[in-house]
Amino acid sequence: MGVRRADEHGSPALSAEATSRFLEGVELIRRGEYFAAHEELELAWRAAPHAERDFFQGLVHVAVAWYQAGRGRQVGTERQLEKAIRRLGPYAPAHRGLDLDSLLGQLRRALDVAQADGLEHAVRIDLHPIELVEEQQ
């Protein structure tokens, strides 16, 4: 994955710890390990510069949304998706090597699924695994 320490778009450099936590959190999301991803990304968020915190918190919300969906928690899923969209939106189209336009599209589609799926008929909300893709250079 092409994540940079100092983003070419003027983002501040991340500490080694924040970079490591970020990369691990993204990889965990890709593998569908959402609870562990949330833990790693929360540590990245805490270690990140102030200007980056909404970005990292948005990724935490992505991981928590999929975790909540897997547990059949519709309201929690919807709230986490809404928060993720709100926090990640300002960083689009891409940030720290992630194609946020693509991710935001996936989050909006997932929110539509979550809002349309009343849990009275489902054991869990079926959200497809999130795809985090590298920014096109």
pLDDT at residue 135 tops 90 = no
Residues 90-105: tens digit of each pLDDT: 999 999 989 999 999 9
CA distance 85 to 65: 11
53: domain CATH number is: 1.10.3450.10
| Number of other residues whose CB lies within 10 A of the CB of residue 134 | 12
- Whether 49 is covered by a domain: the verdict is yes
Query: Is residue 114 situated within a structural domain?
Result: yes
Q: Is 17 helix (H, G, I), strand (E, B) or coil?
A: helix
Is the pTM value of this prediction over 0.75? yes
Structure tokens at 118: 């009343």
Q: How many domains does the chain have?
A: 1
Query: Is the residue at 25 inside a domain?
Result: yes
Radius of gyration of the chain (CA): 14
Q: Residue 54 falls within a domain, yes or no?
A: yes
On whether residue 6 sits in a domain, the answer given is no
Encoded tokens for 119: 């849990």
What does the pLDDT read at residue 114? 85
Coil/strand/helix, residue 98: strand
Compute how many other C-beta atoms are within 10 angstroms of the C-beta atom of residue 69: 24
Helices (H), 31-132: 34-47, 53-70, 74-88, 100-116
User: Is residue 134 included in any domain, yes or no?
Assistant: no
Asked whether residue 21 is domain-assigned, the answer is: yes
List the domain range (segments joined by +) for residue 81: 16-121
Is 127 a domain residue? no
CA distance 38 to 6: 23
- Residue-wise pLDDT for 21-40, tens only, equals 999 999 999 888 999 999 99
8 pLDDT exceeds 90?
no
